[in-house]
Amino acid sequence: MNAKIVFLAAVLILGGLGAYYYLDMPYSRQATTDVGANEGSEETVSGMRAEENMVVVMEQKPGNIIVGSVIYLAAPGYLVIHEDNNGEPGAILGSSTLLSAGESAGVEVALSRASKDGETLHAMLHFEKGANATFFAAEDTPVPSRLGGPISGWFEISSEVSSDTQITI
């Protein structure tokens, strides 16, 4: 009896995920963005855009600049880099210049301090709310996800990371 319930639950979950994928096609348009890819590069990262807003930041070498690989914004906003605070975004280390709505690639963020080898950082999207084209944490709110919480993700700092990665979304 329990095996039948587990099997039925697995079928329902997989069916729900499949239905979500096919019904949400306008937000999962396929696009390809080459960021730092050299001819003959063997590293490729692939993903699917499931919302109209998205951020992809690959592993980075230690330094004072973070590069956002691919950003999608439904309205003008910013890529904001946060310290890690026990697995959650902590203090803000820097923000990009104002990004237009749509796709942006190779978005640079100058940090207030150099990142360290082995460190985890968080990338978060914020909408421009003050109509002043300058990031202010108190007024430029995080971009909400349809799943709850802000659009954000973590990434690692590593001195051994390759910088020639092709990203396909």
The tokens for 24 are 């949400």
For the chain, which ranges sit under pLDDT 70? 1-50, 163-169
Asked if residue 73 lies in contact with residue 125, where contact means CB atoms within 8 angstroms, the answer is: yes
User: Pick from 125, 166, 164, 153: which is nearest to 33 by CA?
Assistant: 166
pLDDT at 165: 53
27: Cα within 13 Å, side-chain hemisphere:
14
Indicate the pTM of the whole model: 0.70
pLDDT for res 69: 92
Task: Indicate the DSSP class of residue 128.
Answer: -
HSE-CB for 53 with a 13 A CA cutoff: 26
The DSSP output letter for 4 is: H
| pLDDT at site 130 | 84
DSSP H or E run through 126: strand 120-127
At 111-159, the pLDDT tens digits run 999 999 999 999 999 999 988 999 999 999 999 999 899 999 999 999 9
